[in-house]
Amino acid sequence: MPAVTCKYFTTVLSITNKEQETFTITAGTTVEDFIEEVIKKYGAKFGQHVYAEGILDGKPYKTPNLYLNKSRIQWVLDYPDGLKTKLKDGDLLWFGLIIGGGTSNVSGFMFQVQRYN
């Protein structure tokens, strides 16, 4: 049976109470199917933090905060099938917002992002 590993970041980490875990999946499982299985395991609050929802150009959208093998699932060049992409043995899924830090000088303003523990 194929197995995939999940890593959890930011708010989903506080729901799972673990940084990573491995799941055994059936052949042919899509990213979308797998997300729903993880939501069943951890509950609706997990789903609320995994999916971003809103209105874009007057139309509702729902998109996951998810990376598959270090690429956003929405990147069409990497995953033309998007959420319908079939998972493979050894795939790595990152759930949650990935937040970085550093400094940036934009239009003469200096911004600094700091991590607080």
Cα–Cα distance, 94 to 104 (Å, whole number): 26
How much is the pLDDT for 61?
A: 83
Fold designation for 3-113: Ubiquitin-like (UB roll) (3.10.20)
What phi and psi, each to the nearest 5 degrees, are found at residue 83? -65, -15
Distance CA 18, CA 38 (A): 13
Q: What is the pLDDT along the chain (117 residues), one digit of tens a residue?
A: 899 999 999 889 999 999 999 999 999 999 999 999 999 999 999 999 998 888 889 998 888 889 999 999 988 888 999 999 999 999 999 998 666 555 555 444 444 444 444
| Structure-token match 């990497």, residue found | 78
pLDDT of residue 24: 97
Domain ranges of the chain: 3-113
pLDDT of residue 11: 84
Please, are residues 93 and 34 in contact by the beta-carbon 8 Å criterion? yes
